[in-house]
Amino acid sequence: MVEEACESVMNIGVEIQSNEGKNDECVELDIYPLSSYYFGYKDALLFKNYNLHHQLHKIKSNYAAHGLRTCVEAVILVELFKHPHLLLLQVRNSTFKLPGGRLRPGESDINGLKRKLTRNLSENEDGNGTEWEVSGCLGMWWRPDFETLLYPFLPPDVKQPKECTKLFLVKLPVSRKFIVPKNLRLLAVPLCQIQENDKTYGPIISGVPHLLSKFSFNIIQS
Amino acid sequence: MVEEACESVMNIGVEIQSNEGKNDECVELDIYPLSSYYFGYKDALLFKNYNLHHQLHKIKSNYAAHGLRTCVEAVILVELFKHPHLLLLQVRNSTFKLPGGRLRPGESDINGLKRKLTRNLSENEDGNGTEWEVSGCLGMWWRPDFETLLYPFLPPDVKQPKECTKLFLVKLPVSRKFIVPKNLRLLAVPLCQIQENDKTYGPIISGVPHLLSKFSFNIIQS
């Protein structure tokens, strides 16, 4: 394991002051820097390197066996230069993804997300995931058919959607080790760079600033 | 007053089953048709017909006098062909807007929104607005300067934003009269038409499907 700070990753904690009861105000989200954060690497994860044809075949056979495929992804915020940054993983220097992944059949959203976060961002793969505090669902994206288009709603007359991706806000504790597989890069990207940059980040990630727009960010200086 | 149904407006009620306490599930939003809805017209509202130069001048002098300008807007959903539709007002056959408007200095979000909804959608302008049930804040858009650009977050280093537009989910009661000024048209536009249609609807309206993406729509047949 290499004890290096991951490139471009900033050390921040997130704390939520929920005021769900108050209708008159939008929700406040405190973000504060935590320079005690630690970033390191662990062994590479095995990714199945399907081509598009095989991937589609696998998705179809999985659907036939288990029905709707559900993915859960984490929105984790850090602060840099007084602006919220989103933690993204980069695969093979190209694709950007939110930390998370596909649920096992019967697995709950929260348990599945914790398992994936531990796999992608923590040292101990066998942990019970208690170190991840998963907050509310921010949004859902639907794939009505075995095609590439995603919608932030279920289009009319779609009786059997094929995939649903749920985004959850994940609150970081004050102190945290991020241990990332060697073949992934952990990045902190400013919201203003992500916003409406569908071309680089895809529809789900480029839509995250919208999903966070109900929050007022309070940046707490340490 | 003309007792005609407003063109393209569908009669629907919205009821929210909040499950804020449950992290594992996204929030369900019941939408059901209510054919008892009534649509009519009232006298035209006076709109100040400034040109862009005068409008900018007015916004600047208002900012100097009262500081940050806050607008509150309502997201009101109706159902048609089993797909959620958003209620929009159309001004002079061109601009689309969400029902709502600018707060008076010192006015609360909720009170201001109720006042504007009554002005735009109800018979009695002098009512106390109790007929409007304003639910949570869905999102906020910021104008950092006296320019036209809007952001769903406060960009870094903006100390004195000039305008904030807050979007609130508004729940309709089972029975409702919509009485709309003659010079406005009330429209129900499907989410799938609004989605990513910034060119027609502008950034705020075209972003509404994102803001609603945490809801599962349950369409209740009457």
- Among B25, B80, B85, B153, the strongest candidate for a mutation testing the A interface, having the largest count of A CBs within 10 A, is B153
Spatial neighbors of B147 by CB under 8 A, at least 6 apart, are none
Tell me if residue A139 falls in helix, strand or coil: strand
A47-60 mean pLDDT: 78
Does A201 score more than 90 pLDDT? Answer: yes
C-alpha to C-alpha distance for B156 and B94, rounded to whole angstroms: 34
Is the C-alpha dihedral spanning A188, A185, A195, A146 positive or negative? Answer: negative
What secondary structure, in 3-state letters, does B146-182 show?
Answer: CCCCCECCCCCCCCCCCEEEEEEEEECCCCCEEEEEC
Q: How many residues does chain B have?
A: 222
A152 → closest Cβ in B81, B141, B210: B210
The answer to whether the CB of A177 falls within 8 A of the CB of A38 is: yes
Of chain A, the percentage scoring pLDDT greater than 90 comes to: 35
pLDDT at B147: 74
Residue bearing the bigger pLDDT, A128 or B163: B163
- pLDDT (mean) for A45-64: 80
Report the gap between the CA of B138 and the closest CA in chain A (Å). Answer: 5
**What pLDDT does residue A8 have?**
29
The residue ranges of chain B whose pLDDT is under 50 are 1-25
CA dist B139 to A25, A42, A208, B39, Å?
11, 38, 12, 29
Contact residues for A163 (Cβ-Cβ < 8 A; gap 6+) = A59, A68, A69, A70, A71, A142, A143
Q: What pLDDT score does A112 carry?
A: 95
Tell me which chain A residue has its CA closest to the CA of residue B214.
A139
**Min Cα separation A182/chain B (Å):** 31
- pLDDT, residue B71, reads 95
CA distance B109 to chain A (A): 6
From CA B82, how far away is CA B79, in angstroms rounded?
6
For residue A179, give every residue at least 6 positions away whose Cβ sits within 8 Å of its Cβ, in sequence order, or none: A1, A39, A40, A41, A42, A121, A122, A123
Q: What is the mean pLDDT of chain A?
A: 80
Span A82-105, average pLDDT: 89
Give per-residue burial for B77-108: e unless 16+ CB within 10 Å, then b.
bbbbeebbbbbbbbeeeeebbbbbbebeeeee
Q: CB A82 to CB B207 under 8 A?
A: no
CB contact under 8 A, A210 and B210: yes
The Cα–Cα gap between B25 and B171 comes to: 21
Rounded mean pLDDT, A50-68: 84
Which residues from A are below 8 Å from B154, CB to CB?
217
Q: Report which listed range, A51-55, A161-165, B81-85, is most confident.
A: A161-165
- The helix (H) or strand (E) run that includes residue A205 is helix A198-206
Domain ranges of chain A: 12-219
pTM: 0.82
Task: Say which CATH class A12-219 falls into.
Answer: alpha beta
pLDDT of residue A19: 33
Residue A133: closest CA among A168, A161, A178:
A168
| ipTM, 2 dp | 0.77
pLDDT, position A22: 42
The number of C-alpha atoms within 13 Å of A95 and in the hemisphere containing its C-beta is 9
Within chain B, what is the greatest distance between any pair of CA atoms?
52
**d(C-alpha B6, C-alpha A46), whole Å:** 59
Distance, in Å, from the CA atom of A167 to the CA atom of A23, rounded to the nearest integer, reads: 23
